[in-house]
Amino acid sequence: MRAINTVWTILAASLCFACDDPEPRRDAKVAAPETSALVDACMIDDDAVACGGLESLTSAGVDSRCGTHPTKDQVEAMELDFSARRAAAARIGFVPRVIPTYFHVITDSVGNGKVAPERIEQQLEILNAAFVPAGITFSLAGVDVTANDSWYAMNYGTTAETEAKSALRQGGAGTLNIYTAGLGGGLLGWATFPWEYSWAPEVDGVVILDESLPGGASAPYDLGDTAVHEVGHWAGLYHTFQGGCGGDLDDGGDRVADTPAEAQPAFGCPEDVDSCPMPGKDPIHNFMDYGDDACLDHFTHGQVARMEYQLTVYRDEV
Q: Which residues are catalytic?
A: 230
In DSSP terms, 101 is beta-bridged to: 140, 176
CA atoms within 13 A on the CB side of 98: 4
Peptide linkage before 201 cis (omega within 30 of 0): no
Report CA torsion sign: 23, 24, 27, 29.
negative
List helix spans (H) across the chain: 2-15, 34-43, 48-60, 72-88, 117-131, 149-152, 159-168, 225-234, 301-314
How far apart, in Å, do the first and last CA atoms of the chain sit? 31
**Residue 138, Cα to own-chain centre: how many angstroms?**
16
State the Cα torsion 238-241-242-244 to the nearest 10°: 170
Q: What angle do CA 199, 179, 52 make, to 5 degrees?
A: 105
Closest CA to 259 of 233, 298, 316: 298
Strand, helix or coil for residue 23: coil
Is there a contact between 187 and 158 (Cβ–Cβ < 8 Å)? Answer: no
Closest CA to 151 of 192, 108, 104: 108
CA distance 41 to 44: 6
